[in-house]
Amino acid sequence: MILTTATAIGLMGLACGGALALAARFLSVREDPRVERAAELLPGANCGGCGYAGCADYAKAIVLEGAAINLCAPGGGEVIGKIAQLMGVEAAAAERKVALVLCGGDSGNAPRRFAYNGVADCRAAHAVDGGDKQCRYGCLGYGSCARVCPVGAIEITAGGLAVVHPGVCIGCGACVKACPRSLIRMVPVSRTIHVLCSSRDKGPIVKQACKVGCIGCTLCAKLADNGAIAMDGFLAVVDYDKELTNEAVVEKCPGKCIVQRSMEGATA
Amino acid sequence: MKTLRSSFKVPGGVHPDYRKQATRDKPVQVMPLPALLRVSMAQHMGAPAVPTVKKGAVVARGEVIGKAAGFISAAVHAPTSGTVKGIVDAPTAGGAVAPAVEIEPDGRDRWTDSLKARPDWRNAEAGELVAMAAAAGIAGMGGAGFPTHVKLSPPPDKPIDTLIVNGAECEPCLTADHRLMIEHADAIREGACIIRHILGARTLRVAVEDNKPEAVAAMEKALGGVEGDVAVVVLKTEYPQGAEKQQIYAITGREVPSGGLPMDVGALVENVGTCMAIRDAVVDGRPLTERVTTVTGTPLARPGNVLARLGTSYADLAGFCGGLMSPAAKVISGGPMMGLAQHSLDVTTSKTTSGLLFLSPDEVEAFTSLPCISCGRCVEACPAYLMPCEISRMVEAEDWEAAGWYDVMDCIECGCCAFECPARRPLVQHMRQGKAWIMAKRREQREKG
Amino acid sequence: MSEAENKMFLVSSSPHAHSGATVQRIMLDVILALMPALAVSVFRFGIDAARLVVTCVATCVIAEYLCRRAMGRQAAVNDLSAVVTGLLLAFNLPPALPSWMAVVGSIIAIVIAKQVFGGLGYNPFNPALIGRVALLVSFPAAMTTWSAWRIPAPLGGVEAVTQATPLGLLKTSLSTDGSMPYAFNGATAMQFLLGNQNGCIGEMSALALLVGGLYLLARRCISLHTPLCYLATVAVFAAVLYVVDPARNMTPLFHLLTGGLMIGAIFMATDMVTSPVTRKGMCVFGVGCGILTMVIRKWGGYPEGVSFAILLMNAVTPLINRATRPRVFGTGLRNA
């Protein structure tokens, strides 16, 4: 009885296995082996920063559609180099970039101007009466950026300010698109001096709205060497392509919005 | 002239507490000139006007201080004579910031005579009258603020045969249109006839809800001598009986196609206030410089219907009505169903400020939302036959294509769904999010292809 | 004016008015609507009914509270939905059921059928029915052990000898010798209407349940569509069967008054979360439940089919919602 059952099941198994083997042989889809190799080389975070639907999709695009090989920010120079080798092309090295929220207005610095009651999403809050922060350019702190971050690198502090942890950030850029006030900027990891303000309002208005806002005094632009900080209207903007060595801008800033902060950190 | 009693029931719809008793029987009061008027360039739908005066300029009442910027835009005029104190960036009722001209009244209220009156408008060409409406800066005063001269210029392949004058005023608390109909029925009639003449419309209907019997009587009397297919239609009191597309359906039986405009079915709807403004522009040569606003609410000392110049701050309006006797928890520009909540009383009145409502702390509570319990009350209440609960779910999940599939673009943002929702879900906010995403996608695609 | 300006105004998206309805109020109305049936069952079964109701409600509430704590989510107990689940589950249990089984059923209903999916609003199946069906399948003997009647039957009515439910009697007697268990006449009908029949503690008195149903209709907690379509479908189906073979089928009135149909049609099939949102959808749902109930009663293995019928229809509710989407204003034109 048991023997019959065992034989029957065993034969069925053999038959199925054989069929599968034949199918794998004769019915298999011919695929360029480089697609699989490229997918292995990519970090596998599936963050979508490259603009494709995950690493496997990007790998296929690189090999079969000739997509640019330097779109993977989390992978960085190392991965780009290896893929360049695989595809037999030149690699363009780029410095790793991480996200930085250009705002320092937490509840201690930047007051709210009304009690907002509604969807706890920055885009939604921004649409209701212009957002509940006195500063109409500042971080609303409802976490839209934190929610899209694939690696949880963004923290909304107790004071309601979004802060990126550079060591965790993989540089995919999803948060940049999520912020309705375009507060997040991708900065090279080597840069340490940053203007943490995005307010384009005139000085007196900024002073009422935030304790650490840029008042447009242009002192930093003058102090910074080789134009590393330039004025865009009433806002000081750092040009990260240039090297900024005059660290005096940090103490001299009357608005207290320039900080010295390392973008390095243990990579994820 | 006939009076038609419509038994039309708005599809869905709700019955909020109307609370019009406080102001419905109070005649319109004319507010004296405040110390400062701040006239926004963004008082209408479309591109904001561009200021045409500089600091220090002396202006007369009705003088152009902002010119229309583009096809869908409107001119802005000085509400009184005085000196321009400056051009500032001022907040609007919607929360955006737009340029505004600050004028210090000189007290003489001198009119300009730049707009030539045309009391014999029956002999005028439609084009000339439309140009007068444009020169007068008239925009839809029911709340949308669509530039009237654009609305009165439908393309030749879309003739209008029915003009509907909207006196429904379905929003709770508001009584401005109600008082206009009682006190200025003749002016509204003349304005309606001017528009009818411009459009060549055969049929004229004046829509009023049945909770305004005095207004019905006044309009019946005023329309008595008007020739042709003219009628006052008495609609059942329900919110949102004043919604344009639903009203056209109620009166003509025609449904405006989704994504289309009333002119697609040969109809046009104008608010009673807009009709009056057209009459003032054409017959008296007076551009739009003031409007009636219902200022009301329990914390307010003397609620009333106030005729105030455009650019009057909400603080001054409240002050004219005796100020607040008790703290207000919420301030709304407009009515409670579709109005815009304000965070400051420094905002000034515009062409579309139909109401200023103060809510006391016990009339208002900060709500917390629960997940949707699929009770279906929103589906029942929606006048556009949508499924707000499903759209809301899709928006929360950020499944924007699905929200579009559920026709979020057809939402008229009337608020009936959120009014009924026992889970206090922010349905209208979700609708707006869905629409914003879809419009951004459409813009992206237009720019690409 | 300075008073107003010192405090921040509340700002939200429109609308700024609300009907005042809350989930809690709806649940409270359901609890009130179940009170007549509770009164009848306590009157009939005394301490057993009270024991089961208290056990189920308490377990449901505690289970929900602990579950939410453990999941790190906001407390949801004061929306009273756990109380409603507990009551409905208790009403679906036979009076002699041991308390520990009621506890197991309650935990399954709340934890597995509700909280695992995310809590109120996210569950696809009616939690009370899942609890009942889980118990029925796990403890079939205990779940089909009925108590003896406390009150003797009136003259002309059914004798108080058996310990089976009317539907149970029907199935067993039809399958053993193909005969009807008793004659169903006016007196029996009145007896069933008033609650003088055997069964689960909540399903006996059609009258008490109807009174509760009318209250829910008046309070707009339920709409007429689902219960009406459900009961009408059962009546029509039963009528057709009766006309075809009166010797082996009971009249429609019998089917309407016995088993869990009344409580199912009025309280379970109308559970908002698990039933369609559109009016048309509710009708489809009711008809579907009716057909499935009769099919199970007539040809299925179980004497009563209401629980399974409703659960099966719960499964297709999302499809029904999509299929019965109303025509949006301005589409599919109806121009004059």
From A124, which residue of chain C is nearest by alpha-carbon distance?
C13
Distance CA B167, CA B169 (A): 6
Q: Does residue B339 contact residue B239 with C-beta atoms inside 8 Å?
A: no
Tell me, yes or no, whether C162 and C89 share the same domain.
Answer: no
- Name the residue facing C8 among A115, A118, A128 (closest C-beta): A115
Integer Rg of chain C from CA: 22
Q: What residue numbers bound the domain in which C39 lies? A: 23-143
Per-residue pLDDT at C124 exceeds 70: yes
Instruction: Work out the average pLDDT over B108-117.
Output: 91
DSSP string, B389-418: HHHHHHHHTT-HHHHHHTTGGG-----HHH
Q: Which residue has the higher pLDDT, B182 or C332?
A: B182
User: What is the per-residue pLDDT for C159?
Assistant: 52
Mean pLDDT of B94-109: 94
Interchain contact, B433 vs A114, CB within 8 Å = no
- Cβ-proximal residues to C61 (8 Å cutoff; 6+ apart), any chain: C77, C82, C83, C86
pLDDT at position C200: 83
Contacts B357 to C, Cβ<8 Å:
16
Among C10, C16, C331, the residue with its CB nearest the CB of B339 is C16
Of B172, B337, B374, the CB nearest to C14: B337
Residue range A211-215: mean pLDDT, rounded = 93
User: Would the CB atoms of B428 and C14 count as touching at under 8 Å?
Assistant: yes
Q: Are residues C174 and C117 in the same domain?
A: no
Three-class secondary structure of residue B215 per DSSP: helix
C120 assigned to some structural domain:
yes
C-alpha of A97 from chain center: 8
Instruction: Check A128 against B97: CB less than 8 A apart.
Output: no
If you search the block for the tokens 């009584």, which residue do you land on?
B175
Cβ contacts from B onto C, under 8 A: 183
Q: How many CB atoms lie within 10 A of CB B107?
A: 11
Which B residues in the span 237-256 are in contact with C, Cβ-Cβ below 8 Å?
245-246, 249, 252-256
Task: Enter the DSSP assignment of C116.
Answer: G
What SS3 state is found at C40?
Answer: helix
Select the residue from C3, C13, C30 to test the B interface by mutation, using most B Cβ atoms within 10 A: C13
Contact B429 A136 (CB under 8 A): no
Domain endpoint, select from C143, C161, C184: C143
Cα–Cα distance, C278 to B254 (Å, whole number): 25
- B-chain CB neighbours of C274 within 8 Å are 374
Task: Compare all CA atoms of chain A with the CA of B365 and give the residue at the minimum distance.
Answer: A117
The total domain count for chain C is 2
Whether residue C151 is predicted with pLDDT greater than 50 in this model: the reply is no
Question: Tens digit of pLDDT for each residue in B35-73?
Answer: 999 999 999 999 999 999 999 999 999 999 999 999 999
- Residue C108 tokens read as 């399954």
Quote the pLDDT of residue C6: 53
- A185 is written with which tokens? 């900027």
Q: Identify the band that residue A268 occupies on the pLDDT scale cut at 50, 70 and 90.
A: very low
Determine which of A112, A113, A114, A117 to mutate to test the interface with B (most B C-beta atoms within 10 Å).
A117
Strand partners, B86: B102
Question: Residue B343: its chain A contacts at CB < 8 A?
Answer: 113-114, 129, 132
Q: What is the pLDDT of residue B202?
A: 93
pLDDT the model gives residue A93: 66
Q: Are residues C281 and C135 in the same domain?
A: no
User: Looking at the complex, does the CB of residue B96 fall below 8 Å from at least one CB of chain A?
Assistant: yes
What's residue A51's pLDDT?
78
SS3 B89: strand
For residue A119, the distance in angstroms to the closest alpha carbon of chain B comes to 7
Is B256 in Cβ contact with C330 (below 8 Å)? yes
- Closest-approach residue (CA) in chain C for B316: C1
Residue from A119, A123, A142, A206 to probe the interface with B (highest B Cβ count within 10 Å): A119
Q: What is the DSSP string of C44-88?
A: HHTHHHHHHHHHHHHHHHHHHHHHHHHHT----GGG-HHHHHHHH
Window 149-168 of A, Cβ < 8 Å to C: none
pLDDT tens per residue, range C266-303: 999 999 999 999 999 999 999 999 999 999 998 988 88
Instruction: Kindly state whether residue C162 falls inside one of the protein's structural domains.
Output: yes
Task: Check residue C153 and give its pLDDT.
Answer: 55
- Which site among B300, B331, B333, B373 would you substitute to test the C interface, given the most C Cβ atoms closer than 10 Å to its Cβ? B373
Q: Would you say residue C248 lies in a domain? A: yes
Query: Which stretch of B186-200, B320-334, B335-349, C37-51 has the lowest confidence by average pLDDT?
Result: C37-51
Q: Which residue(s) pair with B205 in the sheet? A: B164, B231
Q: What local confidence, expressed as pLDDT, does residue A143 receive?
A: 94
Minimum mean pLDDT among A240-249, B235-244, C25-34, C154-163: which range?
Answer: C154-163
Q: Do A114 and C13 touch (CB under 8 A)?
A: no
Q: Are residues C194 and C302 in the same domain?
A: yes
Mean local confidence (pLDDT), A158-168: 93
Looking at the fold, whether C65 and C161 belong to one and the same domain comes out as no
Q: ipTM score here?
A: 0.90
Q: What is the rounded distance in angstroms from the CA atom of residue A130 to the CA atom of residue A115?
A: 13
* The two three-digit tokens of residue A252, written as one number: 């001299």
C-contacting residues in B 35-64 (Cβ below 8 Å): none
From chain C, pick out residues whose CB is under 8 angstroms from the CB of A116.
11-12
Q: Please check whether residues C67 and C181 belong to one and the same domain.
A: no
CB B13 within 8 A of CB B381: yes
CB nearest B436 (choices: A115, A127, A131): A127
* C298 is a domain residue: yes
**B5 vs C33, higher pLDDT:** C33
Do C13 and A132 count as a contact with CB atoms less than 8 A apart? no
pLDDT digits (tens, 9 = 90+) for B266-280: 999 999 999 999 999
What local confidence, expressed as pLDDT, does residue C2 receive? 42
For an interface test with C, the pick among B158, B252, B255 (most C C-beta atoms closer than 10 Å) comes out as B255
Cα torsion angle, B175, B179, B184, B189, sign: positive
What's phi and psi for B346, nearest 5 deg? -85, -10
Residue C33 near residue C88, CB atoms below 8 Å: no
Tell me if B336 and C15 make a contact (CB, 8 A cut-off): yes
Q: What is residue C158's predicted lDDT score, i.e. its pLDDT?
A: 53
| Nearest CA among B230, B397, B284, B163 for reference residue C118 | B397
**Cα distance from A130 to chain B (closest Cα, Å)?**
4
Residue C208 within any structural domain of the chain:
no
| pLDDT at C197 > cutoff 90 | no
Q: Please tell me the number of Cα atoms within 13 Å of C220 on its side-chain side.
A: 12
Residues C187 and C296 occupy one common structural domain: yes
Q: What are the chain B neighbours of A130 within 8 Å (beta carbons)?
A: 91, 94-97
Q: Which of A128, A144, A147 to mutate to test the interface with B (most CBs of B within 10 A)?
A: A128
What mean pLDDT value characterizes chain C? 86
- What percent of chain C has a predicted confidence (pLDDT) above 90? 59
Residue C5 pLDDT grade (very low, low, confident, very high; cuts 50, 70, 90): very low
In a domain, C217, yes or no: no
Q: Within this chain, do residues C86 and C188 fall inside the same structural domain, yes or no?
A: no
Chain B partners (3+ C-beta pairs within 8 A): A, C
pLDDT of C183 above 70:
no
Identify which of C22, C272, C333 has the shortest CB distance to residue B257.
C333
CA C166 vs CA A141, C163, C259, C307: distances in Å: 63, 10, 7, 17
Same domain, C123 and C155: no
| Distance separating alpha carbons of residues C313 and C292, to the nearest angstrom | 9
Question: Residue A11 corresponds to which tokens in the numbers above?
Answer: 């034969």
Which helix (DSSP H) or strand (DSSP E) does residue B99 occupy? strand B97-105
Q: Which residues of A touch C13 (CB under 8 A)?
A: 118, 124, 127-128
CB nearest to B340's CB, from A117, A129, A131:
A129
In a domain, C215, yes or no: no
Helices (H) and strands (E) in chain B, counts: 13, 18
Ramachandran region, residue B266 (left: φ > 0; alpha: ψ -120 to 50; beta: rest): left
Residues C60 and C85 in one domain: yes
Torsion over CA: C49, C51, C56, C58 (sign): positive
pLDDT surpasses 60 at B435: yes
Q: Given a cut of 80, is residue A198 above it in pLDDT? A: yes
Confidence (pTM): 0.89
A129 touches chain B (CB under 8 A): yes
The mean pLDDT of chain B is: 93
Tell me how far apart the alpha carbons of residues C308 and C298 are, in angstroms, rounded to a whole number: 14
Q: Is the pLDDT of residue C116 over 80?
A: yes
- Pairing between strand A154-156 and A229-232? unpaired
Q: Report residue C181's pLDDT band, with 50, 70 and 90 as the boundaries.
A: low
- Whether C62 and C117 share a structural domain: yes
Question: Which 3 state secondary structure label does DSSP give A128?
Answer: coil
C36-43: average pLDDT: 89
User: Where a domain ends, among C77, C112, C143?
Assistant: C143
Which of C125, C143, C161 delimits the end of a domain?
C143
**Nearest-neighbour CA in chain C from A133: distance (Å):** 12
Residues C178 and C298 occupy one common structural domain: yes
Residues in chain A with CB shorter than 8 Å from the CB of C9 are 114-115
Please check whether residue C6 lies inside any domain of the structure: no
